[in-house]
Amino acid sequence: MLSSIGCASGQGASPTPALTPVTTPTLMPGLTPTPANTYKVEFSSYGHGQSIDIYRQGELVGRFWAGAVYLDAELFFENTQAWAVDLDNPMPQDKGFEAHLGAAPDESPWREIGYIYNTYSHTVYSPSGNSEAAAIQLAIWKWLYGREAVTSGETGIETRALEIYDSAAGQTSELPLYIDPVLDGIQHTIVSAHEIPTPTTSPTPTPCEADRDTIQAALYAYHAEKGEWPTANGQPGKIDWDKLMPGFLDEKPSTDSKCDWQVNSNPEGRVCLRRTC
C-alpha cells in the first residue's frame, strides 16, 4: 500500500562527496535523530554538482564537492540522492559505515532544509544541473552555518544559492532523514524521508512501487527537457501519458487505472497517486 505518497489535498496533483576536512565548529547541537535506527551505509556514486571554493567567515578554507551524492543503506534504500550537512568531515568512498537514521529535528533550520530538498532537488535534472546542484548544496550549508558565514568564490553559484536560501525562509516541508554516522570523522548527510526506516528484511517491491520509480524518472527527464510537467497545462496535475510516450516511457503503466498517477504540487514534481494502490 502506497498511502505515504498520496497527492496534496486541494491540488490537481498529489504527493508521493569527498570533502576536504577543515578545522571548523561542529554541527549545531541537538541533531541526534529520534527515533534512531542503525544501518550500514555505503557511498554509491557522485550525482550532479561540481567542486567549488568555499570561504568561511571570508577566509578560503579549500575546494569542496558541492552537489548530490548517491548512497545505499542496508535494507532501506538504494542509490538514493543525498546532500551533505557538514563541512568538517569527508564521505568515505571505499568502505561502508554504520549510521543512525532518523527524522531530523522538527525545528529551524531543518524545516527550511527540508523545504529546499523537496522543492529544488529535482531541478538538477536540467542543462545547468551541475551548477544548480552546487547552489542547492551551498544553500543548505548556509542554513546550517549562516547566510554570509559560508560563501563561494563562484559568483553565479553564490547568487543562486542566496536565492534558494531566501526562498526557504519561514517555510516548512517534510523533514529530511538525517544520517548520523556512529563514528566521528564521517560526513553527515540527509536523504528524503517518506518514512522512518523500520524494515528488518528486504521487502519485495509491489507493482505500484516499481511503476512509481519508473514514472518519477520519466517526469524529471521530461521536465529537464521541456521546462514543464507532462500534463494538459504543464503544471502539476494528471499525467498526460501521450506526452511521455515513446520518448520517456515505452508504454502507459498498467497500474494507472487503479492508482491514477499524478504530478504532485507539494513537493512539486514528485510522483503521487490519487487512489491508494
Q: 105 and 141 share a domain?
A: yes
State which of 191, 220, 242 marks the end of a domain: 191
Residues 70 and 83 sit within 8 Å (Cβ to Cβ): no
Residues 231 and 156 in one domain: no
Q: Which domain holds residue 68?
A: 18-191
Q: Flag whether 170 is in a domain.
A: yes
pTM strictly above 0.75? no
Q: Are residues 81 and 121 in the same domain?
A: yes
Q: Are residues 185 and 242 located together in one domain of the fold?
A: no
Residues 118 and 253 in one domain: no
**What is the torsion angle, in degrees rounded to the nearest 10, for the CA atoms of residue 22, residue 23, residue 29 and residue 33?**
40
Q: Which of 239, 249, 241 is nearest to 218 (CA)?
A: 249
Does the residue 45 lie in any domain? Answer: yes
- 60 & 121 share domain: yes
Residue 159, domain member (yes or no): yes
In terms of domains, do 66 and 183 share one? Answer: yes
- The tens-digit pLDDT sequence of the chain (277 residues) is 333 344 654 333 333 233 333 322 233 333 444 445 678 888 888 888 999 999 999 999 999 999 998 888 876 667 788 899 888 888 888 778 888 888 888 899 999 999 999 899 888 887 788 999 999 999 999 999 999 999 998 999 999 999 999 999 999 888 888 888 888 888 888 777 543 444 444 445 566 667 887 888 888 888 888 889 999 999 988 999 999 998 888 889 888 887 888 888 777 788 876 655 5
The answer to whether position 123 is within a domain reads yes
Domains contained in the chain, number? 2
Q: Which three cell numbers stand for residue 177?
A: 532523514
Q: Is residue 37 part of a domain?
A: yes
Spatial contact of 135 and 123, defined as CB atoms under 8 Å apart: no
Domain termination residue (choose one: 161, 191, 221): 191
Kindly report the backbone phi and psi dihedral angles of residue 236, in degrees, each rounded to the nearest multiple of 5, phi listed first.
-55, 140
* Residue 1 counted as domain residue: no
Closest C-alpha among 94, 88, 243 to residue 150: 88
Question: Is residue 10, in this structure, part of any structural domain at all?
Answer: no
Of 138, 163, 191, the last residue of a domain is: 191
CA gap 3, 82 in Å, rounded: 23
**Size of the chain, expressed as the number of residues it contains:** 277
Q: Are residues 112 and 159 in the same domain?
A: yes
Question: Is the same domain home to 34 and 98?
Answer: yes
